[in-house]
Amino acid sequence: MNKEKDVIICRCEDVTLEEIRELIKRGYTTVDEIKRITRAGMGPCQGRTCRDLIIREIARLTGKRVEEIPMPTFRPPIKPIKLGVLAESEDD
């Protein structure tokens, strides 16, 4: 049994620990790079579940501290909001 292959890091986009580690070993050492290749962090939760796991894995494999890993770019809306809330603002 390949543990890395069975561990899902990004549930929304079905990205495994094995895929993340392979990319880091190939030199992709930012969350944005990994996101562009795998779509990890682009799912419905917008990375709230997987972002910290990816950062921690980059830090671990590169020997850096977590604080040294650049945060990914965020696009609004930062938090999920209901479409009705957006539609209401049109009336105002």
- Which residues would be at the binding site for ligand FES (CB under 6 A)? 10-13, 40-43, 45, 47, 49-50
Q: Which residue lies nearer to ligand FES by CB, 44 or 70?
A: 44
Q: Which residue lies nearer to ligand FES by CB, 14 or 88?
A: 14
Q: Closest separation between CB of residue 3 and ligand FES, Å?
A: 19
Q: Render the burial of 29-67: b for 16+ CB within 10 Å, e for the rest.
A: bbbebbbeebebbbbeebbebbbebbbebbbeeeeeeee
Contact yes or no for 23/33 (Cβ under 8 A)? yes
- Return d(Cα 44, Cα 21) in angstroms, integer: 23
Amino acid in position 57: E
Q: Closest separation between CB of residue 29 and ligand FES, Å?
A: 18
Q: Closest separation between CB of residue 2 and ligand FES, Å?
A: 21
- Return d(Cα 47, Cα 11) in angstroms, integer: 10
Q: Which residue lies nearer to ligand FES by CB, 36 or 88?
A: 36
Q: Closest separation between CB of residue 91 and ligand FES, Å?
A: 32
